[in-house]
Amino acid sequence: MRPITTAIDAATDDAISRIAAERGITRDAFAADALRRAVRADEKLAAFVQVGIDAADRGDVIPHDVVFAELRERRKRLPGG
């Protein structure tokens, strides 16, 4: 394990202490888990964005006017649309 040290605001610090206590874990365990989840979420987002970039690079895109025409049609089908 590698330690990370950073400054956080008092409200976040208090929340970490409270949540960790509620879960019956240490502040360090809570922080490590939160960082792992944040990293996984960022990696998933980057992979999702890359799929779109790869599609655009291949020319596999839908023209702007087609997308917005479909969105307008969907909105019409909504209650109050």
pLDDT 10s digits, 19-34? 999 999 999 999 999 9
CA distance 6 to 32: 13
Residue 56 tokens read as 């655009």
For the chain, what is the domain count?
1
Is 5 contained in some domain? no
pLDDT band at 1 (very low <50, low <70, confident <90, very high): confident
Residue type, 27: R
Is 61 contained in some domain? yes
Is 2 contained in some domain? no
In whole angstroms, how far apart are CA 75 and each of 51, 68, 81? Answer: 27, 10, 5
Is 31 contained in some domain? yes
Domain that holds residue 37: 10-77
The answer to whether 35 and 4 are in contact (CB under 8 A) is yes
Q: Tokens 């019409």: give the residue.
A: 76
Is 52 contained in some domain? yes
Is 50 contained in some domain? yes
